[in-house]
Structure 1
Amino acid sequence: MTPSGRTNQLLYQAELLLAVPAGDDEHAMSRRMAREEGALALLELALNAALRELTEHARLPRHDWRELLAADARPVAELTQLGELAGQPESWLAWLLSRLQALHGVEGAARREVASPMTIPVAGQRALGDELPGCILAFKATLAELRETSVEW
């Protein structure tokens, strides 16, 4: 498999996982949370695969997003662009990185739904599974642009 093929495969698998219905039995919430966190973990793998693919010409020893998107990372054009995108709080990449940090934390990234009539829903707070598809679409669009500039090298 090619590096771009692996990146595409991981993005596709994340989409497939999100398409699986949670059901409506007593395990539905746990299944939904597992599906969301599983898709998020696949997106982390896809991000690392994309970084490997886009920096192939730089022959970097590691491809972990924590290292490559750090402020003091090696000056590779694609990494610079992604670093700038990560620095924009409203960008899909900043959103993804914050969810990846949560995924690795004690609380996790998926949230339980509070289904009590006594609670007031927080405006603008969407379920992780509702936000991930948009993130995947933006990831794919950015990846297509970066692949194009990477080929030029």
Structure 2
Amino acid sequence: MSPRARTNQLLYQAELILDIAPGKDEHAEARRMASEEAALALTELALESLLREVTEHARLERHDWRELLGPEGAGVAELHRLRELASHPESWLGWLLQRFEALHDSAGVARRRNPSQPGLIAVGSGAALGDELRACLREAKQEIASLRETSEEW
């Protein structure tokens, strides 16, 4: 499978997981949280696949997002563009990288909903992690199309 096909597959699978209904039993909340974290983990894999894809021409040995998007990352135009995007916490990539860090933390990233106010999440914004991730994936796909264009020019 090509890096491009793998990136597409992982993004699609992340969206599929977000669409799984958590149900209405006593495990629904845990199931929702598991789906959100699973989709986020697949999105992290998709980012690494994307990095492999858009840097194929540079023949890099490693494709860890922490390395490539960090200050010491390779001087590839696509990576520079992504580093710039990552430096803005309100961007789709800045938002994702914050959530990836939380995903790897012992507390995780998914949160239980506040039982006293079912429409609110106890920590963070009023939007559910899954909804925020869906919006982020939509924005990411637009950027990915543009990155692929510039990468293909090489």
Q: Please give the TM-score of this superposition, normalised by the length of structure 1.
A: 0.95
Q: What is the rounded CA distance, in whole Å, between the counterparts of 2:5 and 2:96 in structure 1?
A: 21
Kindly provide the CA deviation profile for residues 101-153 of structure 1, in whole angstroms up to 9, marking residues without a partner as x: 00000110100111115xx8778432111101111111111100000000111
Tell me the CA shift for residue 90 of structure 1.
1.0
Deviations 1:38-87 (A, max 9, x none): 00000000000000000001111100100000012110000000000000
CA distance in 2, matches of 1:121, 1:34: 15
Distance in 1 (CA, whole Å) between partners of 2:113 and 2:11 is: 26
Provide the C-alpha distance between the structure 2 equivalents of 1:35 and 1:137, rounded to a whole number of angstroms.
Answer: 18
- Aligned letter for 2:131? D
Separation in structure 2 between the aligned mates of residue 28 and residue 142 of structure 1, nearest angstrom: 33
1:36 aligned onto 2:36:
yes
Distance 2:127 2:62 in 1: 34
* 3-state secondary structure, aligned to 1:115: coil
Tell me the amino acid that sits aligned with residue 70 of structure 1. G
Question: What are the residue-to-residue correspondences of 1:62-77 with 2, within 5 Å?
Answer: 62-77=62-77
Identity of aligned residues (%): 60
| Structure 1 SS opposite 2:61 | coil
CA–CA distance in structure 2, aligned partners of residues 104 and 32 of structure 1: 18
- Counterpart code for 1:142: E
Name 1:129's counterpart in structure 2: 130
Question: Which whole-Å CA distance do the structure 2 matches of 1:152 and 1:60 have between them?
Answer: 18
Q: Does 1:55 align with 2:55?
A: yes
TM-score with structure 2 setting the length: 0.94
Partner Cα distance (1:121, 1:132) in 2: 15
For 1:108, the equivalent position in structure 2 comes to 108
What displacement does 1:3 show?
1.0
Contact 2:14 2:43 in 1 (8 A): yes
Write out the 4+ residue segments of structure 1 that deviate beyond 4 Å after TM superposition: 120-123
What residue ranges of structure 1 are gaps of 5+ in the alignment? none
Secondary structure, aligned partner of 1:90: coil
Q: How many residues align?
A: 151
1:3 — aligned with what?
Answer: 3
Cα 1:3–1:85 change in 2 (3 A) is: same
Q: 1:127 to 1:121 in 2, by over 3 A?
A: closer
